[in-house]
Structure 1
Amino acid sequence: MSETRNQTSTEHYRKLENMYQGAPVNVYFKPSLTIGKGTSELKIEIREDFFHAAGATHGVVYFKAADDAAFFAANSLVKGNFVLTSTFHLTLLRPIQSGVLTAKGSVIQNATHQIIAESILVDEKGREIGRGIGNFAKSTIPLTPEIGYRL
Structure 2
Amino acid sequence: MTMGSEDPKALARRIVETMHAKGRAYAFLDLEILDVGPGHAKARMKVREDFLNSHGICHGGLIFTFADTVFGFACNSRNEASVGTSCDITYLRQVAQGEILTAEAKEIHAFGRGALFDIVVTDHDGEKVALMHARSVQTGGSFLPEQESPA
**TM-score, normalised with respect to structure 1:** 0.85
Q: What residue number does 2:74 align with?
A: 73
Distance 2:110 2:45 in 1: 27
Are residues 1:131 and 2:143 paired? no
Structure 1's 64 and 142: CA in aligned 2 closer, same or farther, altered over 3 A? same
Q: Deviations over 1:82-110 (max 9, x none)?
A: 11100011111111112211111111101
Structure 1 stretches (4+) deviating beyond 6 angstroms? none
1:37 Cα deviation after fit: 2.9
Q: What residue number does 1:93 align with?
A: 92
For the aligned residue pairs, the C-alpha RMSD in angstroms reads 1.8
Q: What residue number does 1:8 align with?
A: 7
Q: What's the % identity of the aligned pairs?
A: 19
Distance 1:126 1:14 in 2: 24
The total of aligned residue pairs comes to: 142
Matched residue of 1:57: which SS?
A: coil
Structure 1's 129 and 109: CA in aligned 2 closer, same or farther, altered over 3 A? same
Within-5 A mapping of 1:11-90: 11-22=10-21, 23-33=23-33, 34-76=35-77, 78-79=78-79, 81-90=80-89
- Decide whether the 8 Å contact of 1:86 with 1:135 is kept in 2: yes
1:3 Cα deviation after fit: 7.4
Distance 2:128 2:6 in 1: 36
Distance 2:120 2:45 in 1: 14
Structure 1's 74 and 144: CA in aligned 2 closer, same or farther, altered over 3 A? closer
